[in-house]
Amino acid sequence: MKIYKVKVNGKYYEVEVSAIDEVAGAVRPQPQKAENAVSQGDNVILAPIAGKVLEVKVNVGDMVKKGQTVAIIEAMKLENEIQSAFDGQVSAVNIKKGDDVKNKDELIVLK
């Protein structure tokens, strides 16, 4: 917090000024949430390797159980079954059959 002296209509006033993140409990403006963005508390299924999407096995709105296969990605003739590490409902599917994905790309979001 800093104290500033300001002059208004010829009269001086002392004002205390705090940066917004110094104020306990202050609500900070949030950036506009993009479509398919991940919210706090969402669980994201990531690509464990780079490759091509062979199959997507879930749609938005589907309920998914931990251990359920949600997609298959192929690289170097390795067919990789991507299983969910979480229970939840699919809120976003960011891939489709034939897409190339990179390691750690966000494939599917569960809420």
Window 24-53: residues binding other proteins (CB under 8 A): 45-46, 48-49, 51-52
Q: Which residues pair with 8 in a beta bridge?
A: 11
The pair of three-digit structure tokens given for residue 57, joined into one six-digit string: 């096995």
Rule CB under 8 A: say whether 102 interacts with other proteins: no
Q: State in angstroms the smallest separation of the CB of 37 from other proteins.
A: 20
Query: Which amino acid, 38?
Result: V
In sequence order, the 6+-apart residues with CB closer than 8 A to the CB of 22 are 1
- Which secondary-structure segment (H or E) carries 22? none
Q: Does 76 bind other proteins (CB under 8 A)?
A: yes
Interface contacts to other proteins, rule CB under 8 A:
45-46, 48-49, 51-52, 54, 73-85, 98, 100
